[in-house]
Amino acid sequence: QKEVEQNSGPLSVPEGAIASLNCTYSDRGSQSFFWYRQYSGKSPELIMFIYSNGDKEDGRFTAQLNTASQYVSLLIRDSQPSDSATYLCAVNIGRYSSASKIIFGSGTRLSIRP
Amino acid sequence: EAQVTQNPRYLITVTGKKLTVTCSQNMNHEYMSWYRQDPGLGLRQIYYSMNVEVTDKGDVPEGYKVSRKEKRNFPLILESPSPNQTSLYFCASSLGFGSANEKLFFGSGTQLSVL
């Protein structure tokens, strides 16, 4: 079982709708969770991070964490064509807050159709 | 401007010819790391460094070397490249410790082809 799993997609969502991206992780002790966006041919950039159970909102983005079920989600409201990208879920599997134990999923490709 | 600078952006080489990919950050970050990205496999960590003169293996270190002689620089060295090292490489840095300091800043990437 992979440590961080994502559906590779592509996930196609109409413009203006809500895009829902999911990620599951295997290490129950994980404490930090991140979502990175990567445009084709570009480097990943951090868009959300969450450390505690529940929801965290930032503009059109909401991260949801459920440690009991070991999944983390990213919701994108009012999806725009500029949201078309690959979204990487990253989980810190270490017991201490160190960047060295961050594991990435293989990414979900999101396509927003006009 | 705060950034991680990688060079070169594209590199084509032949099997066995030593090469170095440079990485430099201007954010005074303690932590630096190298990843390779392959289709369907996501980002996999090659080596990382928690501070000057402190380096450690990641998940896929075979065939690679690194050094951290200065805080800002973290070059990736392929002593004898092979075709299975054809990949997209990213350097990343962060402050390192503490929940708010794990955020990674990535360089623009190096597309390496080994013939």
- List the beta bridge partners of residue A45: A37
3-state secondary structure of B84: helix
Distance between B61 CA and the closest CA of chain A, angstroms = 14
Model pLDDT for residues B46-90, shown as the tens digit of each residue: 999 988 988 999 999 999 999 999 999 999 999 999 999 999 999
Query: Binning pLDDT at 50, 70 and 90, where does residue A104 land?
Result: very high
Task: Report yes or no: A80 at the B interface, CB cutoff 8 Å.
Answer: no
By DSSP bridging, strand B31-38 and strand B87-94 are: antiparallel
Task: Report yes or no: B102 at the A interface, CB cutoff 8 Å.
Answer: yes
Average pLDDT over residues B13-26: 97
Closest CA to A69 of A114, A110, A24: A24
Q: Is B70 exposed, middle or buried (0-12, 13-18, 19+ CB in 10 A)?
A: exposed
Residue of A nearest to B108 (CA): A43
Model pLDDT for residues A5-27, shown as the tens digit of each residue: 998 889 999 999 999 999 999 98
Task: Report yes or no: B50 at the A interface, CB cutoff 8 Å.
Answer: yes
Q: Is the peptide bond before B61 cis (omega within 30 degrees of 0)?
A: no
Task: Report yes or no: A32 at the B interface, CB cutoff 8 Å.
Answer: yes
| pLDDT value of residue B41 | 86
Query: Binning pLDDT at 50, 70 and 90, where does residue A100 land?
Result: low
Distance between B106 CA and the closest CA of chain A, angstroms = 6
| pLDDT value of residue B2 | 83
Q: Which residue has the tokens 């413009």?
A: A15
Model pLDDT for residues A26-41, shown as the tens digit of each residue: 988 888 899 999 999 8
Q: What is the C-alpha end-to-end distance of chain A, expressed in Å?
A: 36
Q: Which residues of A touch B110 (CB under 8 A)?
A: none
